[in-house]
């Protein structure tokens, strides 16, 4: 699959497979980046610890992150597989995993949306030539409704619990690392879990309670900074600003403001999902920040919520300023240089701009559903033609 965000992937092997997975994730998440920014702005402004606290307007935050954004991702994933019919069924199926969930079901939406659309495609391929004239609309509507409703039930009974189990497993893994004083190694679990939108579960479900207990005894805790450090996200976004795909660079300054000043880390997660190899940069930066905090003896008195530089300043005790600031800067610097290297310091993007859209291996780039992905691919090609600075190499 080739989009405005990822070029066509050719070849076989582990690297090509990871690139294709990243392309699918990017194709589902990046078209909805505007919705993420809207949610980030509302959150940064109106939550109790935001810039303009407003309890009435803050009611938008929960439904947007737990319902709207997962449904948009499921809708987009379904459309990539089987056009508008797949999109509608993908959105219906996604509701099955978001109902009753306390954490954002982005991972589940990425699973159930395309899967439901693929089932509709299989049905259409099997019965499209057997439907009698005059019954097409009846069959199409009822087949979409039955498959979408059935997948919603599967989401409630199967996919939802699986995603919750993954969330709990990640939390237990972090808890074990903390208990064995392997804090820098915790970044190996924390950073990948964050970009799958499990950050709140880990921070408030595991690290927060442990940090409160530690702060009660010592007056501060390093555990508050393992997940909430804004440094790695800042370094990643700066790398995208200077060396990322030219088509995405205009969106990065706003993301930096929302992330670093507003504390909404979710804004940079799609950038990592677009190029999964960048998770290595996030792990390196996170581990470097935690190591710096340990060496300097830094800690916070409470959870910085949201995880912005201003929230950090508000809960930094006397005597920890140097370590806190240094840890954020080192985490940002390490992430920036590792991410820049993984992005080829812009050379890869420059090469990609000279390629003609759609010149990759067509067979290797068609997602499940074959022709169902043709419309998004043509749209991306048209956009790339209109904007000569479009794509980067995945």
SS3 annotation, 343-393: CHHHHHHHHHHCCCCCCCCHHHHCCCCHHHHHHHHHHHHHHHHHCCCCCCC
Is the pLDDT higher at 31 or at 350? 31
pLDDT the model gives residue 322: 95
Task: Answer for the pair 333, 361: CB distance below 8 angstroms, yes or no.
Answer: no
Q: What is the dihedral of CA 366, 3, 341, 243, to 10 degrees?
A: 170
* The domain boundary residue, chosen from 322, 347, 372: 347
Q: What is the pLDDT of residues 196-220, one digit of tens each?
A: 777 777 777 678 777 877 787 788 8
Same domain, residue pair 244 and 315: yes
How far is Cα of residue 341 from the mean position of the Cα atoms in its chain? 21
Instruction: Give the pLDDT confidence score for residue 385 in this predicted structure.
Output: 39
- Whole-angstrom Cα distance, residue 17 to residue 277? 12
Contact 27, 76 (CB under 8 A): yes
Q: Is the same domain home to 295 and 334?
A: yes
* 146, 206: one domain: no
pLDDT of residue 65: 83
Looking at residues 256-261, what average pLDDT do you find? 92
Shared-domain flag, residues 104 and 242: no
pLDDT at 13: 67
Given 139, 161, 180, the domain boundary residue is: 180
203 and 147 co-located in one domain: no
Give the model's confidence band at 394: pLDDT under 50 very low, under 70 low, under 90 confident, else very high. very low
Q: Based on the fold, state whether residues 40 and 158 are members of the same structural domain.
A: yes
The CA distance from 285 to 77, in Å, is 31
Q: Predicted confidence band at 31 (pLDDT cuts at 50, 70, 90)?
A: confident
Instruction: Single out the residue of 265, 263, 267 nearest to residue 312, CA to CA.
Output: 263
Last residue of a domain, one of 142, 165, 180: 180
Q: Is residue 359 part of a domain?
A: no
CA 172 from chain center: how many Å?
21
pLDDT in tens, 124-165: 999 888 888 888 899 999 999 999 999 999 999 988 888 778
In a domain, 14, yes or no: no
Return the pLDDT at 373.
39
Statement: residue 390 has pLDDT above 70: no
Per-residue confidence band for 283, with pLDDT thresholds at 50, 70 and 90: very high
Whether residue 148 contacts residue 116, with contact meaning beta carbons closer than 8 Å, is answered with yes
Residues 328 and 240 grouped into a single domain: yes
Contacts of 322 (CB under 8 A, 6+ apart): 296, 298
- Tell me: pLDDT of 77 over 70: yes
pLDDT band at 369 (very low <50, low <70, confident <90, very high): very low
Please count the structural domains in the chain: 2
Mean pLDDT of the 182-198 span? 85
Res 389: pLDDT:
38
pLDDT value of position 330 = 97
Alpha-carbon torsion (101, 107, 108, 109), positive or negative: positive
Of 24-28, 234-238, 299-303, least confident by mean pLDDT is 24-28
116 vs 111, residue with greater confidence: 116
Q: Are residues 157 and 209 in the same domain?
A: no
170, 202: one domain: no
Same domain, 113 and 230: no
Decide: 80 and 367 in contact? Cβ < 8 Å: yes
The whole-number average pLDDT for the span 16-44 is: 74
Would 390 be classed as within a structural domain? no
In tens, the pLDDT along 314-357 reads 888 888 899 999 999 999 999 999 999 999 887 765 444 333 33
Judge whether 108 lies within some domain: yes
3-state secondary structure 198-252: HHHHHHHHHHHHHHHHHHHHHCCEHHHHCCCCCHHHHHHHHHHHHHCCCCCHHHH
Q: Is residue 242 part of a domain?
A: yes
Is residue 68 located within the same domain as residue 206?
A: no
Domain assignment present for 25: no
pLDDT at 346: 75
141 in a domain, yes or no?
Answer: yes
Nearest-angstrom CA–CA distance, 69 and 67: 6
> Are 61 and 120 contained in the same domain?
yes
Beta bridge partners of 300: 221
Expressed as residue numbers, the domain containing 303 is 183-347
């Amino acid at each position: 699959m080739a989009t405005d965000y990822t070029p066509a992937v050719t070849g076989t092997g582990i690297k090509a497979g990871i690139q294709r997975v990243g392309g699918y994730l990017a194709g589902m998440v990046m078209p909805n980046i505007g919705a993420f920014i809207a949610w980030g702005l509302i959150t940064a402004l109106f939550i109790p610890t935001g810039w303009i606290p407003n309890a009435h307007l803050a009611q938008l935050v929960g439904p947007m992150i737990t319902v709207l954004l997962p449904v948009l991702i499921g809708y987009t994933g379904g459309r990539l597989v089987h056009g508008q019919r797949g999109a509608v069924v993908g959105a219906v199926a996604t509701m099955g995993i978001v109902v009753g969930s306390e954490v954002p079901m982005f991972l589940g939406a990425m699973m159930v949306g395309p899967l439901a659309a693929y089932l509709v495609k299989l049905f259409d391929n099997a019965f499209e030539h057997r439907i009698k004239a005059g019954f097409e609309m009846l069959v199409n509507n009822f087949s979409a409704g039955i498959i979408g409703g059935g997948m919603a039930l599967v989401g409630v009974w199967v996919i939802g619990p699986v995603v919750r189990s993954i969330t709990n497993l990640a939390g237990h893994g972090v808890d074990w690392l903390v208990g064995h004083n392997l804090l820098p190694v915790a970044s190996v679990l924390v950073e990948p879990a964050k970009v799958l939108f499990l950050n709140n579960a880990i921070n408030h479900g595991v690290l927060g309670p442990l940090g409160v207990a530690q702060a009660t005894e010592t007056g501060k805790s390093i555990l508050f900074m393992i997940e909430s450090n804004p440094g790695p996200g800042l370094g990643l976004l700066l790398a995208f600003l200077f060396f990322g795909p030219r088509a995405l660079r205009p969106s990065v300054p706003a993301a930096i403001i929302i992330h670093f000043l507003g504390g909404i880390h979710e804004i940079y997660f799609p950038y990592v999902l677009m190029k999964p190899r960048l998770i290595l940069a996030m792990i390196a930066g996170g581990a470097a920040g935690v190591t710096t905090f340990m060496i300097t003896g830094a800690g916070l008195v409470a959870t910085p919520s949201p995880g912005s530089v201003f929230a950090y300043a508000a809960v930094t005790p006397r005597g920890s300023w140097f370590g806190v600031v240094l840890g954020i800067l080192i985490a940002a610097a390490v992430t920036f240089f590792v991410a820049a290297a993984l992005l080829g310091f812009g050379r890869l993007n420059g090469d990609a701009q000279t390629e003609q859209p759609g010149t990759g291996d067509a067979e290797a780039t068609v997602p499940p559903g074959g022709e169902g992905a043709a419309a998004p691919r043509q749209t991306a090609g048209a956009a790339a033609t209109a904007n000569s600075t479009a794509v980067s190499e995945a």
